[in-house]
């Protein structure tokens, strides 16, 4: 059988011309269900290991951390601004990447770790600027926010399952 538009020879199983896309139709020829001229294309999916991706992302965080310190040391001869940047990098790592290293992370534990990292970062800022606002303001605010957040998460997790009985 041949295509009526471009003249390409067609296999018996073709429903349309592979060259021009014209539908194959001839009233006297019956289209048979024969195997196609080419094998079916099956794209094989590749699995990506979770630890490999986490290792690469950890190396990106380590690279950013190291570059901040090296650039600050090379330009100023001492650590001036890099403490703030590296503290932010550590906070981002603790918030976004650290829980994925564990198979079944407990959200209450990691929220506690996140607030502890933020508290230490604020303590670093307080000590590096010579301020005295950490114990009087920042620590109670972080502690209250952590307590409220952890209590809310615990209530949502355990009341829904029926473990916490409130009368």
> Residue 75: pLDDT above 60?
yes
Alpha helices in the chain, H assignment, sequence order: 50-76, 82-92, 107-129, 139-161
Domain boundaries, the chain: 1-42, 50-101, 106-167
**Higher pLDDT among residues 166 and 9, named by residue:** 9
- 8: alpha, beta or left, given left = phi > 0 and alpha = psi -120 to 50? beta
Residue range 32-73, pLDDT digits in tens: 666 666 677 788 888 889 999 999 999 999 999 999 999 999
Residue 82 CB neighbours (<10 A) = 20
Query: Collapsing DSSP states into helix, strand and coil, what is residue 106?
Result: coil
The C-alpha atoms of residue 124 and residue 165 are separated, in whole angstroms, by 41
Do 20 and 3 contact (CB within 8 A), yes or no? Answer: yes
Query: Collapsing DSSP states into helix, strand and coil, what is residue 13?
Result: coil
Residue range 82-95, pLDDT digits in tens: 999 999 999 999 99
Q: What is the model's pTM?
A: 0.69
The set of residues, in sequence order, having a beta carbon less than 8 Å from that of 146 and lying 6+ positions away, is 111, 112, 115
The pLDDT value recorded for residue 22 is: 84
> Residue 158: pLDDT above 80?
no
> Residue 27: pLDDT above 80?
no
Task: State the angle between helix axes of 139-161 and 107-129 in degrees (0 to 180), rounded to the nearest 10.
Answer: 180
């Amino acid at each position: 059988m041949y295509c009526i538009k471009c003249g390409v020879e067609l296999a018996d199983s073709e429903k349309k011309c592979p060259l021009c896309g014209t539908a194959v139709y001839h009233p006297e020829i019956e289209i048979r269900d024969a195997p196609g001229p080419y094998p079916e294309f099956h794209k094989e999916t590749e699995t990506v290991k979770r630890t490999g991706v986490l290792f690469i992302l950890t190396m990106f965080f380590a690279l950013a951390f190291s570059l901040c310190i090296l650039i600050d040391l090379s330009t100023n001869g001492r650590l001036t601004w890099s403490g703030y940047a590296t503290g932010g990098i550590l906070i981002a790592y603790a918030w976004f990447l650290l829980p994925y290293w564990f198979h079944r992370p407990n959200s209450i534990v990691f929220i506690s770790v996140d607030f502890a990292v933020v508290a230490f970062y604020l303590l670093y800022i307080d000590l590096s600027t010579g301020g005295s606002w950490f114990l009087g303001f920042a620590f109670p605010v972080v502690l209250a926010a952590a307590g409220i957040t952890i209590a809310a998460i615990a209530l949502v997790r355990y009341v829904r399952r029926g473990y916490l009985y409130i009368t």
